[in-house]
Structures are given as C-alpha cells and as structure tokens.
Copies of this chain bind each other. A is one copy, B any other.
Amino acid sequence: MTEKLEVLRTSVLALAEGKKYTTLKDILVTMKAADIALLFDEEMPEEVVPLLFRLLPKDLAADTFVEMDADSQHTLIKGFSDRELKEVVDELYVDDAVDLIEEMPAMIVKRILQQADAEKRRMINGILKFPDDSAGSIMTTEFVDLLPQMTAQDAILNIRRSGIEKETINNCYITEKDRKLIGVVTIRALIMADPETTMQEIMEENVISVSTMEDQETVAHQFSKYNLIAMPVVDKEDRLVGIVTVDDVLDVMEEETTEDMEKMAAIVPTDSSKPYLKLSIFEIWKSRIPWLLLLMISATFTGMIITSFEGALAKYVILTAYIPMLMDTGGNSGSQASVTIIRGISLKEIDFGDILLVIWKEMRVALCCGLTLAAANFAKLMVLDRLTWMVALTICLTLLVTIFCAKFVGCTLPLIAYKLGFDPAVMASPFITTIVDAISLLVYFQFAVHLLGL
C-alpha cells in the first residue's frame, strides 16, 4: 500500500466512525472509480465498505464495483438487498457483468442473473459460452450498428437515442440485414460528413475483425499492430456479434505479460485477478512447487555425471571449484538467447521458418561472447589463480563450447515448442539451465580426460 493511500484510508475510517457522511460523500465523488476500489480493497472493515458504497452516485458506484477485487465484490454483494443488487447490475456493461459472474460462487451468480433484465441475461449467457482467453470471452455486445443506406444525420440521431447504453460510440459498425459486417465508420467521419451522405459512401470497407474463438493474445497484438481502439468480433458466418475495446486489451496485455514472466521463472501462472498480497500461502505453494520438483529431479542427471567422474575429480579437486562458474555462465548465456527468442515470437517478429537464420545469428554471437569470456577467464586463471596452462585451457575451452551449446539450445527450444503448439515461455531460464548444466559438465570432463589425461 502506498503512503498516500494509507493516509486516505485513515481519514476515511475516522470520518466513517464519526458518521460524517456528507463530508465522506464530498470526498468520494471527486475520486476516480479505480481509486475508490483500491481504498475498499485495502483491509477496510467489512461493515464500512457497504456504508461507503451506498454514498456513491449510481454510475460511480457501478464503475467502482467493476474495479474492486473479487473478494470485496463478494462481501459487498452478500450484504446487498435484491434492489441494491439490481441497481448495480443494471448499470454494468455486459462484459463487466460477465467478468463478475465468472468470479462469483454459484449462489451469487444465480442472484445476479435473477436481477438482470431478460435482454441483459441473454447477452451475458451469449458471452459466457466462449472459452476463457478467447476474443468472444472479452467482447461486449453493446455496440453501435448502422445500416448502409442510413445518412450521416440519421446515424447521429440513432446514436443520440441509443448511444448511452453502448460501451463506445467511437467506432460504428455497418451491417447488412443478415447482420453481416460490411464496414466501419468512425465517429470522426460521421461528424465530418455532409449530413446527407450515406454510410455506404463514407464507410471503410476493409475492416479488421477477429473470430469469436481467436486467442486474446492475438487480438491484443492486432490492436497494437493496427493502432486500433475497438475491433469487431464476428462468428463463423461473418455476422457481427460483438466488439472488443482497447481498455480490455490493456488488461489482457498486462495479464499475458504477467503470465509469460511467471512461466519464464518456472511458476505455474496464478489467478490473474488476485494480486500477490491476497494470494494464500497454499495458492503460492501450488504455483511454485511443480517446476521446483521437476527441475530438482532433473538435476539427478547432473549428479550422475559428476558421480561417474568421481575418481577423476578426486585426483584433480581444483576442477570442482570451477563447476559453478561454468554452469552459471552457461545458464546465463542460454537464457539470454531463449528470452530474446521467446519475446521475438510473442511480438510476431520471429517465426519457426526463421529457425536457420536465428541459429546462424546465435552461433556468431556465441563465438563473440565465448571468445571474450574465455580470454578474460584465461587471464584470470593464469594471473590470479595461478593454474597450470593445461588446466586453464581445459576450463576455457569448456567455457567456449558450453556457450555455443547454451546459445544453440536457448534459441532452438522456444522455436520448436512454438512449432509444436506449446507456449515458448516455458523454455526459459530454469529449463535451459538444467539442460545446459548437464552439457557443460559432460564437456568439462571430456576435455579433462583428453587434455589432462585423467
């Protein structure tokens, strides 16, 4: 919690205790919904939140409700009368209502659906049928659609009548009678147009749309590539069924980034709607233990390699001292390559077809990095550690070969995972490190056997 929030929380609590409701209301109405929600989420006593919530004007109350986390929403709804619940549900946009329903337990969901009017219930159910993370699941069905023969004047009148219920009016979609999407008109074009022009004349026909089943990450990428603020979603017959707006895309991008970073750090992604401080110990444990266990067991191979060269190591104990340096440098080189490629894939800059180009590039980088590090290391081994020529050579050659292998493994595994339909992010540091550890030891002992005659 930031200091500013802490200060605010203390004074709001004091005012609530002193029953200074008018003052409280005056403070709350100058705040943004997202900030009020933060305040409500931060360990406010359970009885104070409904009290404060009831002070908010209807639309601010609904906006605040949407921004609250699932736990606080749950607590609040439990205290709502049916009429209060209806008031909030009426104000919610359909996509926000769907998000809410997905987080609530069955009993509450039933109450919410009971309070929604028939039209809204139909729309909610329409969206609920799409799989998580699909374009359909993040779209809203409240958009402006116009007919091709409408004039600009009629269109504006139409928006004046119905626009208040739409999530955005910045893009209006032109559909034929069978709801087939045939064009888009921006509100700017509508305002600029001569009042008598028809939609057909000013619409942009070349519309970028997605299908309901498209992955939300791809949708986000399209927004960024084409600088969109809204995007129509169509079904298999090209009929317009909803739109995705850019505010939801910003959330998707944050969510996907968190997920990628978690995967890269060997964490099974956690429930993205819960901030870290609200996750239980068990939830965190559950997300961290699988990879730790798997990677620990994989390290058995590394142990087996060392065991099989036990005799040699006993003779040349000094070699052991350089094992961590070799393994870490290998691991770091490998993760540099893998993270670069993983990011390139997710920005659609790199495709599986580029694999040979990528390998060729990484091999040259490995040569440059390997030579620099081996040279620096050789100098250090000779001058500071005062090793013999042959031992220093063994270590530095191992370093060079390890870096080559690490960069190779690091750049190819994510591309192969991608080709096979897995998430390349899993092929990051921890996974690469385990493989590179084994490789570096094998190389090390081979050089030791041949150069030092162990």
A299 with B6: in contact, given A317-B314, A350-B277 (CB under 8 Å)? no
Per CB-CB distance, the 3 closest pairs between chain A and chain B, nearest first, are A299-B325, A265-B339, A227-B247
Taking A265-B339, A310-B317 as known contacts, 16 extra A-B pairs with beta carbons closer than 8 A to each other, sorted by chain A number, are A2-B351, A3-B353, A30-B206, A164-B192, A170-B187, A170-B188, A266-B335, A275-B350, A281-B364, A281-B368, A292-B332, A293-B372, A296-B329, A299-B329, A304-B321, A320-B320
Question: Which of A81-89, A251-259, A416-424 lines the interface with chain B?
Answer: A251-259
**In chain B, what residue has the closest Cβ to A365?**
B284
Contact of A253 among B32, B250, B300, B343 (CB under 8 A): B250
Report Cα–Cα, A3/B258, bound state, in Å. Answer: 30
Contact between A430 and B335 (Cβ–Cβ < 8 Å)? Answer: yes
- CB-defined contacts of A282 to chain B, threshold 8 Å: 368
Is A313 interfacial (CB-CB < 8 Å)?
yes
Question: Which of A116-124, A133-141, A218-226 lines the interface with chain B?
Answer: A218-226
Is A261 interfacial (CB-CB < 8 Å)?
yes
Report Cα–Cα, A253/B250, bound state, in Å. Answer: 9
Contact between A327 and B324 (Cβ–Cβ < 8 Å)? Answer: yes
Interface centre among A163, A282, A323, A332 (most CB of B within 10 A): A332
**In chain B, what residue has the closest Cβ to A248?**
B227
Contact between A296 and B325 (Cβ–Cβ < 8 Å)? Answer: yes
Q: Interface of chain A, helix or strand or loop or mixed?
A: helix
Interface size on A, residues (CB 8 A): 119
- CB-defined contacts of A332 to chain B, threshold 8 Å: 266, 291-292, 295, 430
Contact between A329 and B281 (Cβ–Cβ < 8 Å)? Answer: no
Number of copies of this chain that the complex holds: 2
A159 with B191: in contact, given A277-B357, A335-B266, A336-B265 (CB under 8 Å)? yes
**In chain B, what residue has the closest Cβ to A441?**
B324
- CB-defined contacts of A225 to chain B, threshold 8 Å: 34
Is A377 interfacial (CB-CB < 8 Å)?
yes
**In chain B, what residue has the closest Cβ to A157?**
B191
**In chain B, what residue has the closest Cβ to A34?**
B225
Is A264 interfacial (CB-CB < 8 Å)?
yes
Is A113 interfacial (CB-CB < 8 Å)?
no
Contact between B276 and A349 (Cβ–Cβ < 8 Å)? Answer: yes
CB proximity of A398 to chain B, nearest CB, Å: 13
Cβ contacts A304-331/B at 8 Å (1 or 0 each): 1011001001100110111111011101
Cβ contacts A195-234/B at 8 Å (1 or 0 each): 0000000000010100000000000000111111100000
